Structure 1
Amino acid sequence: MRKTHLALLTLGATVLAGFVTATPAAARDYPWCAQGGEYDYPGECAYSTYEQCQASVSGRLLFCGPNPLFAYGQAPRPQPRTQRRTRPVAPY
């Protein structure tokens, strides 16, 4: 019974150490981004060449643009979101 507890404790510590030392993917460190459609600004920045980006966005109603973090060396400011005004619907 003691060996089982020790084995489970060791396994738990190993898994926890794996989560602590894991680093997030650096997908925003590439110079080209797929933009538009389902992606917020700056988009999916996972392409090292413009051609790679073009191949990925082909047929997806997206476009390729430069990564502002890579191009300008700073984080972009979030764009303020404006409320969309809707016209009240008149009853018939």
Structure 2
Amino acid sequence: MRLPILTLTAIATLFVAADASAQTYDPRYPVCMHVYSLGGRGGGGEFFDCSFTSIPQCQATASGRSASCDLNPYYAFDEPPPPPRKRHKKPQH
């Protein structure tokens, strides 16, 4: 009985200790804004906003903020765009 309890405790400890950070880059957009914040009581932090189609667009949004704009390392620049989807018309009765 003691072995299953110790095993479950060890597994639970591993899950708690594992770093659970999510992916911060959106691979659908070529440019990311890296925002730095000093924060108050909760401390500082930083995050990525990967919702920009160009560096100038990102820079306009980052203007006046503690942020920088960079190319998204997870965007597939060399990959050809997907073909447009064909819409099927519903038959009219």
Q: Assess same fold via TM > 0.5.
A: no
Q: TM-score, normalised by structure 1?
A: 0.34
The TM-score, its normalising length taken from structure 2, stands at 0.34
Q: Could you say which structure has the greater relative contact order, defined with CA pairs below 8 angstroms and 6 or more residues apart?
A: 2
More strand by percentage? 2
